[in-house]
């Protein structure tokens, strides 16, 4: 009797399968998949005819190194991370239609096609500049359009490192330096244009003011202003000699006080 209990315990243990967190389980009995999805935990099975296929519903990070074609025909070595997961409700369909090697069959093959198609529309330098995020989103959207309805969710495509062809780094740096010099020269020219425009406006203002003053100094105004000066001089307590005919400018000779 004592020997029976260990045997029963081994049978019970062999009839249990644990589905880890971040996964769901799908039973396969005699090669036929069951439509039910089993959540993480303990599952009882008949070990002789049934096995449990674990399908990840957590985020999976698959890193890929491959050569990507650029618009100018260069090959750019890239290290890219694909973040994806499988919808738990679609796990049986994924295993049924794609198989357990779904990552190689579906994720990687679609990714390589999408990455090559998108990158061929961009210059090599764009993959190493601010266009990187645009390229990443374009690859992700391209993959979504092909496999979103198959139960796969592409969360992100991240270009971790880009190795440009030999000599291209120097060419990019030289071009950036030339663009910076051109921008600086354009700024200086713009400053010179503004300064020249300011001087032109200033000179025009002085000319207009002189023209207005010349047009306003009629003979009557000059005589009137002369009378005002004579009036002020006559009110002064200092001794003075005023010689004028009433038309010419006022001539004043003081006594030295």
Measure the CA–CA gap between 204 and 112, rounded to whole angstroms: 67
pLDDT at 156: 94
**pLDDT value of position 1:** 46
Provide the pLDDT for residue 219: 64
For residue 79, count other CB atoms closer than 10 A to its CB. Answer: 14
Q: How does pLDDT run along the chain (257 residues), one tens digit per residue?
A: 444 444 444 444 457 788 889 899 898 888 888 888 888 888 888 888 888 888 889 999 999 998 888 888 888 888 999 999 999 999 999 988 888 899 999 999 999 999 999 989 988 878 877 788 899 999 999 999 888 888 899 999 999 888 876 665 565 556 656 777 777 788 888 888 888 888 888 888 877 777 766 666 566 666 666 667 666 666 666 666 666 665 554 544 454 44
CA–CA distance, 234 with 240 (Å, rounded to integer): 9
**What confidence score (pLDDT) does residue 253 get?**
46
Q: How far apart are CA 44 and CA 57, in angstroms?
A: 21
Using CA atoms, how far residue 44 sits from 8, 24, 34, 129, 199, in Å, is: 15, 14, 14, 54, 92
pLDDT recorded at residue 149: 86
Cβ–Cβ under 8 Å, residues 59 and 155 = yes
Amino acid 163: pLDDT: 80
For position 139, what pLDDT does the model report?
94
Spatial distance between the Cα atoms of 24 and 77, rounded to a whole number of angstroms: 36
* Strand runs labelled E in 166-250: 240-243
**Closest residue by Cα to residue 67 from 129, 142, 120:** 120
Per-residue pLDDT, 190? 86
pLDDT digit string, tens, across residues 68-125? 888 888 888 889 999 999 999 999 999 888 888 999 999 999 999 999 999 899 888 7
- CA 63 to chain CA centroid, Å, is 23
């Amino acid at each position: 009797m004592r020997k029976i209990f260990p045997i029963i315990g081994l049978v019970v243990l062999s009839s249990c399968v644990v589905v880890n967190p971040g996964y769901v389980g799908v039973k396969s009995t005699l090669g036929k998949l069951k439509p039910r999805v089993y959540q993480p935990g303990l599952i009882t099975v008949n070990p002789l005819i049934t096995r449990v296929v674990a399908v990840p519903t957590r985020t999976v990070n698959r890193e890929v190194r491959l050569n990507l074609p650029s618009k100018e025909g260069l090959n750019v070595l890239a290290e890219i991370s694909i973040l994806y997961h499988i919808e738990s409700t679609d796990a049986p369909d994924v295993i049924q239609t794609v198989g357990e090697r779904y990552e190689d069959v579906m994720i990687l093959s679609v990714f390589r096609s999408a990455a090559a198609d998108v990158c061929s529309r961009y210059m090599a330098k764009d993959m190493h500049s601010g266009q990187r995020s645009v390229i990443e989103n374009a690859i992700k959207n391209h993959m979504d359009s092909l496999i979103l309805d198959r139960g796969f969710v592409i969360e992100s495509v991240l270009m971790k490192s880009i190795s440009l062809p030999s000599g291209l780094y120097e060419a990019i740096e030289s071009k950036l330096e030339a663009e910076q010099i051109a921008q600086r020269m354009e700024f200086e020219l713009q400053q010179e244009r503004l300064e020249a425009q300011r001087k032109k406006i200033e000179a025009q203002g002085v000319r207009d003011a002189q023209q207005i003053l010349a047009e306003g100094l009629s003979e009557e105004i000059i005589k009137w202003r002369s009378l005002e000066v004579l009036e002020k001089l006559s009110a002064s307590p200092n001794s003075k000699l005023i010689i004028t005919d009433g038309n010419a400018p006022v001539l004043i000779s003081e006594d030295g006080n």
